Structure 1
Amino acid sequence: MDTALWVIGRGTGVAAVLLLTLTVLLGIVTRGGRPLPGLPRFAVQLVHRDVALTSTVLVVVHVASLLLDTEAELRLVDTVVPFAGSYRWFWLGLGTLAVDLLVVLVVTALLRRAIGPRAFRAVHWVAYAMWPVAMAHAIGTGTDGTSAWFLVIAGVCAAAVLGAVVWRCTARVTEFRSARLEVVR
């Protein structure tokens, strides 16, 4: 049974990294104010939300399976309090921190209407911290974290997110947003 839990934990961890990357990319693109080719902006937002939900479920399964795996020696406190673990405490702590930040993102997403768009956007900047922390956790403590195939995946994910951030910060994107606001006024 422990082998099955370990495989589930390992697989969901890798899948979560991929989907969290896609979530961040879709969030950046959506915030840029431009639709993707063939998809209106609202559809991109729906895909962003659904991918975020799926990645969150994968993270929950990842943590739960490793919590139930007796060989992982993960304690309940290790899943909530960063840097409390004994096994690779720093890298495990980064994973716990990423989960805590993910919880903040999920809670604010669920309370978006209650807290208002300004507070939601302010808290949603946490995603820019959560993603690299989760990636560092995957590389530092994951079974395959230093495997060539995973490092290639991590490199592609990092390049994609960095490219999206650079694109988002370009004047052309900002000008598009400003022009759109002027048309609305």
Structure 2
Amino acid sequence: MSALAVTGSPLWYAARAGGTLALLLLTATVVLGIVAGGRGAPRRIGRFELGLLHRNVALLGSAFLALHVVTAVLDPFVRLGWAVAVVPFAASYRPLWLGLGTVACDLLLAVLITTALRRRLGVRRWKAVHRLAYAAWPLAVFHAAGTGTDTRLPLQLWLYAGCVAAVAGAVGLRLATAGPGRLAGRVTAAVTAAAVPVALTVFLADGPLQPGWAHRAATTAFLLGGGR
């Protein structure tokens, strides 16, 4: 059965397209941020140009994120309501997985607001908040995989794999070219970069790729070890 037959609204397509593009651009933003801050940054591109590209990609991603949120709320099939856009885990439709997306959205919103107030906050405080984008990325990936009704499609699975591989590769490059010091931070980055693809693979295999996921996603039974 086609997605249009299920939802009866072209807004579903707009929401999924906006969300997919937002995830791709968020991934590109994270990769650029990781690479630009290390010694492995491309020498042919100046740090100013790389920083400008990073900012523009982030702004474009924010635009598609706004499209994703607005069209998802306006879609009459799920009837989310505007509060769901900022209040995590308040939706009746796949509350956990939709809530992860809301948390990611809130984190990115905090990054945008503090970036606009960067001069008033100071570089140190701004950087502390700016790092929230790295936390928003895995939440966005699991939100997309857990909420999307097209997760089983091979193209969508390859998209998730490409996003995870890109970020893991960027982290690997950053660690490989990093100088001495900050051992704790480097270990944390390495463990996180390795844990995300493993966790996503396990989640997909035992969740969205299994029969009955639509029913289980509507409850917390998946996390509590409920049956399928």
TM-score interval w.r.t. the shorter chain? 0.7 to 0.9
Q: Does 1:130 align with 2:149?
A: no
Identity %: 45
2:128 and 2:179 map into 1 onto residues whose CA distance is 18
1:146 and 1:136 map into 2 onto residues whose CA distance is 14
Q: Does 1:43 align with 2:55?
A: no
The answer to whether the 8 Å contact 2:9/2:76 transfers is no
The answer to whether the 8 Å contact 1:33/1:41 transfers is no
**Deviations 1:91-110 (CA, angstroms, capped at 9, x unpaired):** 01001111101101111111
The answer to whether the 8 Å contact 2:39/2:174 transfers is no
**Deviations 1:41-99 (CA, angstroms, capped at 9, x unpaired):** 11110010000000001000100011111112111111111001111010010011111
Q: Which is helix-richer, 1 or 2?
A: 1
Q: Could you tell me how far 1:163 is from its partner in structure 2?
A: 1.6
Q: Could you tell me how far 1:33 is from its partner in structure 2?
A: 4.8
The answer to whether the 8 Å contact 2:11/2:72 transfers is yes
Q: Which runs of 4+ in 1 moved over 3 A?
A: none
The answer to whether the 8 Å contact 2:97/2:146 transfers is yes
Residue 93 of structure 1 corresponds to which residue in structure 2?
99
What letter matches 1:124 in structure 2?
H
What letter matches 2:11 in structure 1?
L
1:62 and 1:166 map into 2 onto residues whose CA distance is 31
Q: Does 1:21 align with 2:27?
A: yes
**Partner SS for 2:91:** coil
1:34 and 1:80 map into 2 onto residues whose CA distance is 37
Total equivalences in the alignment? 173
Residue 151 of structure 1 corresponds to which residue in structure 2?
157
1:112 and 1:142 map into 2 onto residues whose CA distance is 35
- If asked which structure has higher relative contact order (CA below 8 Å, sep 6+), I would say 1
Q: Superposition pairs for residues 47-62 of structure 1, below 5 Å?
A: 47-62=53-68
2:46 and 2:40 map into 1 onto residues whose CA distance is 8
1:174 and 1:143 map into 2 onto residues whose CA distance is 44
Cα RMSD for the two superposed structures: 1.5
The answer to whether the 8 Å contact 1:10/1:143 transfers is no
1:40 and 1:34 map into 2 onto residues whose CA distance is 12
Specify which of 80, 105, 108 is matched with residue 74 of structure 1: 80
What letter matches 2:179 in structure 1?
T
The answer to whether the 8 Å contact 1:67/1:75 transfers is yes
Residue 213 of structure 2 corresponds to which residue in structure 1?
none
| Gaps in structure 1 of 5+ consecutive residues | 176-185
Q: TM-score, normalised by structure 1?
A: 0.88
Q: Could you tell me how far 1:36 is from its partner in structure 2?
A: 2.3
2:173 and 2:32 map into 1 onto residues whose CA distance is 13
The answer to whether the 8 Å contact 1:83/1:92 transfers is yes
1:4 and 1:38 map into 2 onto residues whose CA distance is 44
Specify which of 172, 179, 197 is matched with residue 174 of structure 1: 179
The answer to whether the 8 Å contact 1:30/1:44 transfers is yes
Deviating more after overlay: 17-26 vs 121-130: 121-130
1:144 and 1:55 map into 2 onto residues whose CA distance is 21
The answer to whether the 8 Å contact 1:21/1:157 transfers is yes
| Gaps in structure 2 of 5+ consecutive residues | 1-7, 181-228
The answer to whether the 8 Å contact 2:40/2:173 transfers is no
Note closer, same or farther for the CA distance 1:116–1:34 as it changes in structure 2 (3 Å cut). farther
Q: Does 1:142 align with 2:133?
A: no
Q: TM-score, normalised by structure 2?
A: 0.72
